[in-house]
Amino acid sequence: MAWTKKLTQLNDVLSDLVPNKDGITKYVKAAGLKPQHINESGNAMDVWSNVLSEAEKNSKVDELVKSVLDTYPDNQFLKSALFEKEIDFSVAPDIDDTSDWQDVSEETLEVLTMGQSTLLPVNFLAKGVQRSKSVGKVEIKIGSNRYSVGTGFLFKIKGIEDLFFITNYHVINDKNYIERTRIIFDYELDIEGNTVPSRSFKIDETGPWYCSEIKENDATIFKLIDEHNTLAEYGWIELKEIEIAQNDFVNIIQHPEGKMKQISLYHNIVTNTNERIVQYLTDTLKGSSGSPVFNSDWEVVALHHSGGGSKPEEPELPKGIKSRNEGILINKIIQFVKDNHKN
């Protein structure tokens, strides 16, 4: 069986939606597959891989997707996977392949249940809206009707005049895709719930192209073409070295699943940090890769790049909380830009 990119991404999405092996069998039966033909050894991702292989062999991939859609009817990837015109969400790296995940501590659980104040000044909202202007959707055409999507943002670094855009290396890293890529700003709703007119920009293929692989900074940095001098309307986020600690709060502005711009504001607690990464409970979805991770002062602390389901041995978290999300510490990104741009 040819293991296509579509199946790879289905495996990724299904493993996120149903990360417990015991929950997979009902979907196997609903799709008309025989559970006895499925190898259930390994973790949930391994089992889903075996299920998809069996479904492909029996021409029942659509039936399998439909069975999971009955439980998750709003999942955009599952819906698009049923049609030829599909969105090809960028696959984030497996967090287990890039970092050590540390258990959520009892202290963090206490903070999560409001063991400390979460009050903020009202100007927090206005500052957030201002920062959000610089966040854009990354859309890469990879077929006649297929797109890979991610998130990114405009930024500057003190001492460097250039205006850059950043997203993840796993979102785009091949210059051959530059012509097929557009960065879309204002893809969002206004205060009345109406669609805001969006504007798209192309990548400047003659400008800087700084790439850092997944196991390093998982970042691709470039400039945008500003033919009509309108890019200034979206401002930029000034990056500066920052300190972030366990139990701090972080918020993420993003384009999950390629949808209109959204923000995560609930149960946003940092669970682990080191000199390379920041790990947090903040919600993300496919397509959120490359989003800025902010502290409560709206300073960028990390570049979001990966997530995954909680492990069985981790402490039990309140319902609805996805405990495994991670970003690259922004200090690493700043140093990476300085090291490359001076050359």
Per-residue pLDDT reduced to its tens digit, 95-151: 777 777 777 776 676 666 556 667 778 888 999 999 999 999 999 988 777 788 999
Lowest mean pLDDT among 8-17, 25-34, 60-69, 221-230: 8-17
pLDDT at 192 over 70: yes
What is the model's pLDDT at position 312?
62
pLDDT at 52 over 70: yes
Q: What is the mean pLDDT of residues 306-332?
A: 73
Contacts for 153 with CB less than 8 Å, ≥ 6 apart: 134, 135, 136, 165, 166, 237, 253, 290, 291, 292, 300
Phi, psi of 264 (to 5 degrees): -100, 125
For the domain spanning 95-123+241-335, the CATH number is 2.40.10.10
| Residue with the larger pLDDT of the pair 99 and 202 | 202
> Distance between CA atoms of 121 and 296, rounded to whole angstroms?
10
pLDDT at 183 over 80: yes
| Residue with the larger pLDDT of the pair 255 and 75 | 255
What is the model's pLDDT at position 164?
98
What is the model's pLDDT at position 98?
74
What is the model's pLDDT at position 3?
62
What is the model's pLDDT at position 117?
63
What is the model's pLDDT at position 318?
60
- Quote the distance between the C-alpha of residue 251 and its chain's center: 13
Whether the Cβ atoms of residue 6 and residue 81 lie closer than 8 Å to each other:
yes
What is the model's pLDDT at position 163?
97
pLDDT, one tens digit per residue, over 240-277 is 999 998 888 899 999 988 889 988 877 688 888 889 99
Max mean pLDDT among 24-33, 86-95, 242-251 falls in 24-33
Q: How far are the Cα atoms of 136, 189, 326 from residue 11, in angstroms, in the given order?
A: 27, 31, 20
Whether the Cβ atoms of residue 133 and residue 237 lie closer than 8 Å to each other:
no
Within 10 Å of residue 343's Cβ, how many Cβ atoms?
A: 5
- Which token pair is 330? 């922004």
What is the model's pLDDT at position 225?
97
CATH superfamily of 134-237: Trypsin-like serine proteases (2.40.10.10)
What is the model's pLDDT at position 248?
86
- Which token pair is 141? 């055409």
Q: Indicate the pTM of the whole model.
A: 0.78
Contacts for 148 with CB less than 8 Å, ≥ 6 apart: 87, 88, 89, 90, 139, 140, 142, 171
**Average pLDDT for the chain:** 86
pLDDT band at 328 (very low <50, low <70, confident <90, very high): very high
